[in-house]
Amino acid sequence: MTVAAPGMTVPQGTVLFRPEDPCQGFVVVRSGAIKVSLTAENGREIVLYRVQPGEVCLQTFGCLVKGNAYSAEGMAETDLEIEVIPTGEFQRRVEQDAGFREQLFSAVAARFADLERLVEDVALSSIAERLARALLRLAGQKTVLHATQEGLATEIGSAREVVSRQLSLFARAGLIEASRGHIELRDRAGLEALAHPGV
């Protein structure tokens, strides 16, 4: 992990930790988002989760509890304001501060639920469903999102070529309009129907 200060601002794009890095403390996000991703031996990457204010990085939690090194990469997806609680202080709070412990374990349980949904998504959903969900999630309330085919492939754990083909199908169906680095959601209801079939 490349940061170990009690409180600091981290610019967008900074790698906070990489596989095999030791954990130097518990990161508390005050503002912004950390993207945690895993790269397979074949080079394919998938986003495991994002850490935003009030949420826990399972990678960091696991490293601190088990004494392991990181197995994934964490990057500042936006500019961040974070606090890093040193390992000894984290252990003390877990043991002695009931409020901190309750909040921590609740956040960990929520994060495990997120990972369960990710496994279900990858294992049981079609590319169209996964991509529709990713577009809606990344766009939020906006109608236009800034995303590359490579970035979307990482979001859903697929190949860029597969994402490119599916985006073309979405465009032909009038669901989106895509240009370099930009995607406009033209038919949000149609994407919602694809993202959540049977609902």
DSSP string, 102-134: HHHHHHHHHHHHHHHHHHHHHHHS-HHHHHHHH
CA dist., res. 77 & res. 35, Å (int): 6
For domain 8-123, give the fold: Jelly Rolls (2.60.120)
pLDDT single digits (tens) 130-158 = 999 999 989 989 999 999 999 999 888 88
Indicate the pTM of the whole model. Answer: 0.68
Sign of torsion over alpha carbons 21, 26, 31, 35? positive
Of the candidate CATH numbers 3.30.450.20, 3.30.110.30, 1.10.10.10, 3.10.20.30, the domain formed by 126-195 belongs to 1.10.10.10
Same fold, 8-123 and 126-195: no
Q: Quickly tell me which residue has 């412990």 as its tokens.
A: 101
Tens digits of residue pLDDT in 91-106: 999 999 999 999 898 8
Q: Are 48 and 36 in contact (CB under 8 A)?
A: yes
Among all chains, which residue has been given the structure tokens 């939020």?
Answer: 140
**CA distance linking residue 190 with residue 179, whole number of Å:** 20
Q: Where are the domains of the chain?
A: 8-123, 126-195
